[in-house]
């Protein structure tokens, strides 16, 4: 059964895009679903069919026919979050290995977005329920098996600004990786182009691929493994995993790229440095290497 969502545009919402207005006000449904309704002409502004990019004015009247039962990627789930930092505009969490950042067609629960939907809109804080609906704005992503720092925007404005910062490379990211073998050089740079092999649908070093560069620094050496700090200079698909394999030291737990078998992929987003969306300060977030990484050095430390 469908219903009509009706709302007058407030004074502070003037000049907002229609799609952004709907995303902010109908948080129970996915952005993809709302975009499809806009494409199909199911939304009217002041009685006239309107589309995504239309700019609204204060006192405009918006109407859209929705199905509240439509599938959504924002189903709230009470999943614990390891919160590192939070204010009115952003949230920074430490994502565990094995958790998807956002739902897929094959896996639509247990993800970071499901957890955020609950935390923002159903979690009781200081004895009070949330006063306004918040839709989590993903600014960047981590692979399912990679753990570590994820930055989330809490407002459309913060999301727009932070996405722009990532595009302009104003954000610094560092990772901690536990790799096979003993890396001899204390520091260096890996340069190897990365591309997708169409026949296997596999990303790897490819002669005609896009330029890719990664800097590394040795944190600690064990008997048969090395703890590295990795800094991606470019941002290609699977870049860190591919580059570690390319220079002869695949990440432990990375079965796709030749790493030894382990309970998890030993790659952790350990540091993120960025400008706050308010523009008034630079923020540095750090997350220490997971305890599983330390187990590889226990024997060598005991023998010293």
Which residues sit opposite 274 in a β-bridge? 283
Rg (CA), the chain: 22
Q: Write the burial class of residue 223 (CB in 10 Å: 0-12 exposed, 13-18 middle, 19+ buried).
A: exposed
Which entry of 143, 180, 185, 299 is annotated as an active-site residue? 143
- d(Cα 204, Cα 127) in Å, to the nearest integer? 51
- d(Cα 116, Cα 139) in Å, to the nearest integer? 14
Q: Write the burial class of residue 216 (CB in 10 Å: 0-12 exposed, 13-18 middle, 19+ buried).
A: buried
Task: Say whether 4 sits in a helix, a strand or coil.
Answer: strand
Q: What is the C-alpha end-to-end distance of the chain, expressed in Å?
A: 70
Q: Which of 262, 191, 251, 181 is nearest to 223 (CA)?
A: 181
Task: Say whether 293 sits in a helix, a strand or coil.
Answer: helix
Virtual torsion, Cα 123, 129, 134, 136, nearest 10 deg: -10
Is residue 88 annotated as part of the catalytic site, yes or no?
A: no
- d(Cα 230, Cα 232) in Å, to the nearest integer? 6
Q: Residue 151: enclosing H or E segment and its boundaries?
A: strand 147-153
Count of C-beta atoms within a 10 Å radius of residue 143 = 17
CB distance 245 to 257 below 8 Å: yes
The residues annotated as belonging to the active site are: 143
């Amino acid at each position: 059964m469908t219903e009509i969502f009706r709302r007058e545009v407030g004074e502070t919402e003037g000049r907002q895009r229609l799609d952004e207005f709907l995303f902010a006000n109908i948080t129970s449904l996915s952005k993809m679903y709302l975009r499809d309704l806009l494409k199909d002409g199911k939304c009217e502004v002041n009685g006239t069919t309107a589309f995504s990019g239309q700019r609204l004015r204060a006192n405009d009247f918006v109407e859209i026919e929705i199905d509240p039962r439509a599938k959504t990627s924002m189903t709230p789930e009470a999943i614990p979050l390891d919160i590192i930092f939070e204010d009115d505009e952003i949230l920074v969490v430490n994502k565990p290995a094995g958790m998807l950042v956002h739902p897929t067609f094959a896996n639509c629960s247990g993800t970071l977005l499901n957890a955020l939907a609950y935390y923002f809109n159903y979690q009781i804080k200081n004895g009070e329920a949330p006063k306004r609906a918040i839709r989590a704005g993903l600014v960047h992503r981590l692979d399912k098996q990679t753990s570590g720092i994820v930055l989330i925007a809490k407002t459309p404005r913060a999301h727009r600004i932070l996405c722009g910062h990532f595009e302009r490379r104003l954000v610094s990211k560092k990772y901690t990786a536990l790799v096979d073998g003993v890396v001899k050089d204390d520091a260096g740079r890996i340069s190897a182009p990365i591309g997708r092999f169409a026949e296997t649908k596999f990303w790897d070093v490819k002669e005609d691929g896009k330029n890719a560069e990664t800097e590394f620094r040795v944190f600690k050496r064990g008997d048969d493994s090395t703890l590295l700090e990795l800094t991606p200079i470019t941002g290609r698909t699977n870049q860190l995993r591919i580059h570690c394999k390319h220079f002869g030291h695949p990440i432990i737990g990375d079965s796709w790229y030749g790493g030894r078998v382990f309970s998890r992929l030993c790659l952790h987003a350990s540091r993120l440095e960025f400008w706050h969306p308010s523009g008034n300060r630079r923020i540095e977030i750090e997350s220490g290497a997971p305890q599983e990484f330390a187990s590889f050095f226990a024997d060598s430390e005991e023998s010293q």
